[in-house]
């Protein structure tokens, strides 16, 4: 069993896609073991996305992710890091496969509806960033 951090970004929440995203998680055997809705401050966004510090999109990305409410979830399942990445689709929605969340709903390379950890190491950091050990259902 593996865990990953999933986020519905402010564009996904604003466009009322929470249910749509969660429906897909549930349909694909990705078990939600922790979940919360919150707003990130700009400083929290900078820390969460520290891996992208210095890149041309860092400023815009941290501004965007702190611009409104997000839903953060921990998903559990077999090979869930890779499976959830596949469900999301490529970062650039124009390159994402048919049927993926980003291909269907993203409007922009930045406003791409969802986030997902990309490795066990990033999953451990990102899960710990949002959740403490009392906030899991098991």
**Choice among 102, 115, 116, 117 that is catalytic:** 115
Active site residue 115: yes
Tell me 84's DSSP state: H
Residues in contact with ligand UDP, shown as a per-residue x/- string from 117 to 136 under the rule CB under 6 A: -x------------------
**Residue 73 binds which entry of Mg ion, ligand UDP, none, CB below 5-8 Å type-dependent:** none
CA dist., res. 113 & res. 107, Å (int): 9
Bridging pattern class, strands 114-116 and 2-8: antiparallel
CB of 91 to ligand UDP, least distance (A): 3
CB of 57 to ligand UDP, least distance (A): 4
The stretch near Mg ion (CB under 5 A) out of 15-23, 92-100, 112-120, 129-137 is 112-120
List alpha helices for the chain, DSSP H: 10-14, 18-27, 42-48, 58-65, 80-88, 101-105, 120-130
Considering only residues 56-115, where is the footprint of ligand UDP by CB under 6 A?
57, 60-61, 91, 109-110, 112, 115
CA dist., res. 32 & res. 44, Å (int): 23
């Amino acid at each position: 069993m593996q865990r990953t951090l999933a986020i519905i970004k402010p564009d996904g929440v604003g466009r009322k896609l929470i249910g749509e995203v969660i429906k897909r998680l549930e349909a694909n055997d990705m078990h939600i073991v922790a979940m919360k809705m919150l707003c990130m401050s700009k400083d929290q966004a900078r820390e969460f996305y520290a891996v992208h510090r210095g890149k041309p999109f860092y400023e815009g990305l941290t501004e965007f992710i702190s611009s409104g409410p997000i839903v953060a979830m921990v998903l559990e399942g077999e090979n869930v890091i890779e499976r959830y990445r596949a469900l999301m689709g490529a970062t650039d929605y124009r390159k994402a496969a048919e049927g993926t969340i980003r291909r269907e709903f993203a409007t922009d390379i930045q406003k791409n509806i969802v986030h997902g950890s990309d490795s066990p190491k990033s999953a451990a950091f990102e899960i710990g960033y949002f959740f403490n050990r009392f906030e899991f259902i098991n």
